[in-house]
Amino acid sequence: MIQHHQYYLTIIYILLSSILGLFLAYLGIKIGEYLSQREVTR
């Protein structure tokens, strides 16, 4: 029972960390685009 619970926690942890990683990468790309646009318009 305890091992099964640990298994689910591990899956949830991996999913959350991968989603967070994707979100941070997306945010980084958006910030990079915004900064490059500002450089061009200046």
Give the pLDDT confidence score for residue 28 in this predicted structure. 97
Give the pLDDT confidence score for residue 21 in this predicted structure. 98
For residue 2, name the pLDDT band (cuts at 50, 70, 90): low
pLDDT digits (tens, 9 = 90+) for 26-41: 999 999 999 999 877 7
pLDDT digits (tens, 9 = 90+) for 4-25: 888 999 999 999 999 999 999 9
Residue 42 has pLDDT above 90, yes or no: no
Question: What is the Cα–Cα distance from 34 to 40, expressed in whole angstroms?
Answer: 10
Residue 16's nearest CA partner among 6, 24, 5 is 24
The DSSP string of 1-42 is -HHHHHHHHHHHHHHHHHHHHHHHHHHHHHHHHHHHHHHHH-
Rg (the chain; Cα; Å): 18
